[in-house]
Amino acid sequence: DLAPPAHFIKNAIDEDLAAGRYRQVVTRFPPEPNGYLHFGHAKSIVLNFGLARLYGGRCHMRFDDTNPTTESMDYVEAILEAVRWLGYDWGEHLYFASDYFETMYRCAEALIERGLAYVDSLPPEEIRALRGTLTEPGRDSPYRNRSIEENLALFRRMRAGEFPDGAHVLRAKIDMASPNLNLRDPILYRIRHVSHYRTGNAWCLYPTYTYAHPIEDAIEGITHSLCTLEFEDQRPFYEWLLEALAEAGVFSRPLPRQIEFARLNLEYVVLSKRKLIQLVEERHVAGWDDPRLPTLAGGRRRGYTPEGFRLFCERIGVSKADGWIGYEVLEQAMRDHLNEAAERRIAVLDPLELVIDDFPEGHVEWCEAPNHPLDPERGKRRIPFTRRLWIERGDFMETPVKGFHRLTPGATVRLRYGYVIECTGCDKDESGRVVRVHARHFPDSKSGTPGADRYKTKGNCHWLSCDHAIEAEIRHYDRLFRHPRPGTEPGPDGAPRSFLEDLNPESLRCYRAFVEPDAAQVPPETRFQFERHGYFVADRYDHRPETPVFNLTVGLKDTWGK
Ligand code: ATP
Ligand code: MG
Ligand code: MG
């Protein structure tokens, strides 16, 4: 498998192991089950599971489900499916932060007992106002000096459900003058009389993310807690809290260590659950697994591969500097994997009829085509050649432009894996549109027969027998947004513009095409290179051998904007 190349996190782990700070490596992937996983999550999954694999440690699959209002079991299942699909296995290490509510509560009592937390009864807006700014220190709440006994009694009554939402919060008692705003007595608990998808109505008190996450890590014995750069300012609180709880004897050392890395920003998509939810709910796309969405379910349905994602993550690396990655980097990774993995088949996407006038009606001549040009072991298949064929409309020009080497009256071309033909003319309808092309063939030019390579042609076209080709629906996906950084450019009036205004109105085109019989008789999610076109996948849900549906995964070359 792919070993992650050296990067600063790996160096930090090497140092920790060398210094004897930890004896093994335990990482975690901690999504909140409030949406589907996106390509950004893939970076985190590959990093966390990859490091665990590399160091012979383990990676925990943990649901960070401490927020009762937005989470659901459906999201849990979709997330597990996506991680498994990417190729990672958490073994028995599946955890839910909501299972730790009792421990988190006891940690809070331990803090109160040590004078490190207090119940504040100011309304939320006053707490915010007293917090100060980057240039101004915060001010103490009038409740900051409540006695330990009073705090404990109030906190227990909060848990018992005696107060309405917003009446009190629990805050850490650190330093209202700290230059780091996150250390100005952050909120640890809020009262919320709402039911949770796993714990139901057992709690009306819910921990904040900043409080819950370090405790989750410590409970599980995580050594390296990797998170994105936005959490850098939270690290002092992460350390303060775990030190305090270690001093209190709740957790033993060594404590987990938080390390931040740059999140993935990918051009032409949005990687934010909030925006993805909006795209799905407002029906700008067909669902969470719409092939245009940068969700892992969408990428899968588009034909992207787990190996392609891992290759992509290896290529973009891990750093501490925020930046944007071009979408073509992802596409090239998919192409590189599919070039090896996908067998070749023939499809005619914009069909035009070609009649070989000197080829006997009713006769079938079987031609052989390799399934994979780089790997003869994948064998060959037989393709029927008959009098009437489908070719690409773009492979014929009645009056050729300079440099056009395919079919045009008088020209010879090779029909790939078949015969060399000479174009003799075409038929048109009343409007002058070409409806049929005519040709004659050279009977001794069949590919693979002795002497066939005496024929030198510049053009090489693909084709399908009209009597055998299967009609298929092709779904041609383009980028979902026309702007590389959706919603970042101000509108004409200088006001910020919604990312929705950058949606590409032509991101999906569907059309009828023909594929060879061998391409239709396959299970959903089979991937092919349709020669000269690109990589396609049999749609995960809609493909049937009798009514095939193929999605464009990625073209053979980068053609965006060309
Ligand atoms: P979003 O901002 O899309 O809502 P999130 O960070 O809130 O994402 P979580 O479910 O909390 O979503 O994410 C789980 C893990 O995935 C976190 O550890 C987070 O750091 C990581 N992650 C999320 N987005 C990215 C990204 N764009 N690049 C790298 N890692 C990411
Ligand atoms: Mg998060
Ligand atoms: Mg989020």
Question: How far is residue 394's CA from residue 260's CA, in Å, rounded to a whole number?
Answer: 51
Strand pairing category for 470-477 and 549-555: parallel
Atom 23 (ligand 1) nearest CA: 41
Cis peptide before 524 (omega within 30 of 0): no
**pLDDT, tens digit (0-9, with 9 covering 90-100), for 297-313:** 999 999 999 999 999 99
pLDDT tens readout for residues 243-252: 999 999 999 9
Q: Tens digit of pLDDT for each residue in 458-475?
A: 889 999 999 999 999 999
CA of 32, closest atom in ligand 1: 10
Nearest CA to ligand 1 atom 18: 227
- Which ligand is closest in space to the CA of residue 209? 2
Residue 495 confidence (pLDDT): 84
Please say whether the dihedral angle defined by the alpha carbons of residues 112, 116, 117 and 120, taken in this order, is positive or negative.
positive
- What angle (nearest 5°) sits at the alpha carbon of residue 314, between those of residues 311 and 319? 150
Dump the DSSP string for 171-237. Answer: EE-S-TT-SSGGGSS-EEEEE----BTTTBTS-SEEE-HHHHHHHHHHHTT-SEEEEEGGGGGGHHH
331 flagged as catalytic: no
pLDDT score recorded for residue 562: 46
Per annotation, catalytic residue among 58, 62, 171, 273: 273
For the segment 147-189, what is each residue's pLDDT rounded down to a tens digit? 999 999 999 999 999 999 999 999 999 999 999 999 999 999 9
The per-residue b/e assignment along 178-188, b for 16 or more CB within 10 angstroms, e otherwise, is beeebbbbbbb
User: Is the Cβ atom of 347 under 6 angstroms away from ligand 1?
Assistant: no
Ligand 1: nearest atom to the Cα of 265: 27
Q: Is 44 in the pocket of ligand 1 (CB under 6 A)?
A: yes
**Confidence band of 292 (pLDDT split at 50, 70, 90):** very high
- Omega before 492 within 30 of 0, i.e. cis: no
pLDDT at 496: 82
Q: Which phi and psi angles does 6 have, rounded to 5°? A: -60, 140
Q: Which helix (H) or strand (E) holds 316?
A: helix 306-316
Q: Is 175 in the pocket of ligand 1 (CB under 6 A)?
A: no
Check pLDDT > 60 for residue 561: no
**Residue owning tokens 């498998």:** 1
For the chain, list the domains and their CATH numbers.
8-265 (3.40.50.620), 344-468 (2.40.240.10)
Question: Catalytic residue at 32?
Answer: yes
Strands of the sheet containing 58-63, edge to edge, are 26-29, 58-63, 94-96
**Structure confidence at residue 494 (pLDDT):** 83
For 487-544, how does the pLDDT look when each residue is reduced to its tens digit (9 = 90+)?
988 877 888 889 999 999 999 999 999 999 999 999 999 999 999 999 999 999 999 9
Write out pLDDT tens, residues 55-71. Answer: 999 999 999 999 999 99
| pLDDT score of 422 | 97
The CA distances from residue 543 to 253, 469, 470, in Å, are 54, 16, 13
For 400-451, write each residue's pLDDT tens digit. 999 999 999 999 999 999 999 999 999 999 999 999 999 999 999 999 999 8
DSSP secondary structure, 486-518, as one string = TT-S--TTSS---GGGGB-TTSEEEEEEEE-HH
pLDDT at 560 over 70: no
Q: Which protein residue has the closest C-alpha to ligand 1 atom 29?
A: 263
Q: Which atom of ligand 1 is nearest to the CA of 37?
A: 10
The two structure tokens encoding residue 561:
């904007």
Cα–Cα distance measured from residue 330 to residue 311, given in angstroms and rounded to the nearest whole number: 9
SS3 465: strand
Residue with tokens 């709440």: 141
pLDDT in tens, 375-400: 999 999 999 999 999 999 999 999 99
pLDDT of residue 489: 84
The alpha carbon of 77 and the centre of ligand 3 are apart by a number of angstroms equal to: 18
CA 209 to ligand 3 centroid distance, Å: 11
Q: For residue 34, which ligand has an atom nearest its CA?
A: 1
Residue 488 confidence (pLDDT): 87
**Average pLDDT value for the chain:** 96
Quick one: which atom of ligand 1 is closest to the CA of 272? 3
Contact 31, 264 (CB under 8 A): no
- Which ligand gives the minimal distance to the CA of 259? 1
Residue type, 192: R
pLDDT band for 1, please (50, 70, 90 cuts): very low
pLDDT above 70 covers a percentage of the chain that reads: 98
pLDDT for 2 beyond 60: no
Instruction: Tell how far CA 132 is from the center of its chain.
Output: 39
What number of residues does the chain have? Answer: 562
Query: Is 212 a pocket residue for ligand 1 (Cβ < 6 Å)?
Result: no
In the residue annotation, 283 being an active-site residue is answered as no
Distance 445 CA to ligand 3 centre (A): 62
Rounded to an integer, the average pLDDT of 114-136 is 97
Q: What mean pLDDT do residues 94-116 have? A: 98
